[in-house]
């Protein structure tokens, strides 16, 4: 139980740290948010919890493929935000990402990579 509390505290701390840095510096906040810090933490947690090499490697492999369809959101968000406000833009970007993920999964399936 203590281990789970430590994992929550460190992981949540990273999110809070990034959001606090972003308040002061758009560029530095963006840089920290773009770094795969959560993925690195997950890989460390998996290793410390005794997961197999194959399981850890698969996590990194699939994370790469899942990140790709999320990238267009970061381009669309600033443009949509000016027109539609925060909440509608966030909703549009979430729907767009889900649709792009579905299309991406179909494309990758043709190359033997099963995401779903």
Query: Is pLDDT above 90 for 33?
Result: no
At 78 the pLDDT is: 96
pLDDT level of residue 11 (50, 70, 90 thresholds): confident
Question: Average pLDDT, whole number, for the chain?
Answer: 93
Burial 33-45 (b: 16+ CB within 10 A, else e): eeeeeeeeebbeb
Query: Is pLDDT above 90 for 84?
Result: yes
At 113 the pLDDT is: 93
Record the pTM. 0.77
């Amino acid at each position: 139980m203590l281990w789970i509390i430590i994992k929550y505290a460190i992981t949540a701390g990273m999110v809070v740290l990034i959001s606090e840095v972003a308040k002061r510096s758009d560029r530095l906040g963006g840089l920290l948010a773009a770094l795969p810090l959560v993925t690195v933490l997950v890989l460390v947690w998996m290793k410390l919890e005794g997961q197999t090499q194959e399981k850890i490697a698969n996590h990194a492999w699939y994370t790469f493929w899942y990140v790709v369809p999320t990238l267009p959101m970061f381009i669309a968000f600033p443009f949509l935000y000016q027109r539609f406000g925060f909440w509608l833009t966030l909703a549009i970007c979430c729907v767009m990402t889900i649709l792009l993920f579905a299309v991406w999964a179909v494309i990758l399936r043709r190359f033997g990579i099963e995401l779903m």
